[in-house]
Amino acid sequence: MNSIPGGRFVVLDFETTGLSPAMGARVIEVSAREVLDGRAGHEFLTFVDPGVRVPAEITQITGITTAMLSGAPTSAMVMRQLTSFIGSSPVVCHNAGFDRKFYEHEASEFLEGRPVRTLCTLLLARRMFPGRKSYRLGGLIEEMGISSPGRLHRASADTFVTAHLFDRICADARSYCRPEHFDDDVLHRLQRVPAAGARDWLAELGSPDAKSHCKFGSAGAVAQNIGSVN
């Protein structure tokens, strides 16, 4: 993963009982995977006792049952450890708006109002790999030949493939600008640039021949409204 900028990133994934914490959905599994100077680091991985039964449809998607969570630590215990593990590092997720809202909800006591800086591989993929039929995690990794170590929709497998997807995105983005211009701040800005102009925006950061590059993804793109996503 040597295309990822230097420094520390944490790739995060939650499995949950539903789509919205505002509607009572709870976290049931957490993986937070460290990437340090482009190398895989420690993984924080645990089940979470949500205090409610796991719906049948969630078990069908994830394979996680209520019985599997028996004896797991509570959300408060997990979130205390998770916020310590993440610290101030940028958080990388696929569809980061989803994971961020659960993190901010369940860890609010320990975040103490600190902002959570997220990098969204869904938004970044739309900008660097335009014209895909789908930007679902499973579809992207299949198209790019990224192998999962286990079942998707399980937290550890999802953070593993998201880390490798992030590396592919960074490799492509690097080819459009000079190395000295490429860092996590550029990535945070890139995910908010209109998709149709993302490559040109990177080119303006430095690389004189960037506009002629055409790596993974077609040349055409449709501008995306990202305000509601992240």
Catalytic positions, written as ranges? 153
29, 47 contact by CB (below 8 A): yes
Report DSSP letters for the chain, one per residue.
Answer: -TTSPSSEEEEEEEEESSS-GGGT--EEEEEEEEEETTEEEEEEEEE-B-SSPPPHHHHHHH---TGGGTTPPBHHHHHHHHHHHHTTS-EEETTHHHHHHHHHHHTHHHHTT----EEEHHHHHHHHSTT-S---HHHHHHHHTPPPSS-TTSHHHHHHHHHHHHHHHHHHHHTTS-GGG-SHHHHHHHTTS-GGGHHHHHHTTS-TTGGG---SS-S-------TTT-
Four-point Cα dihedral 191, 192, 193, 199, nearest 10 = 0
- Of 201, 200, 191, 202, nearest to 224 by C-alpha is 191
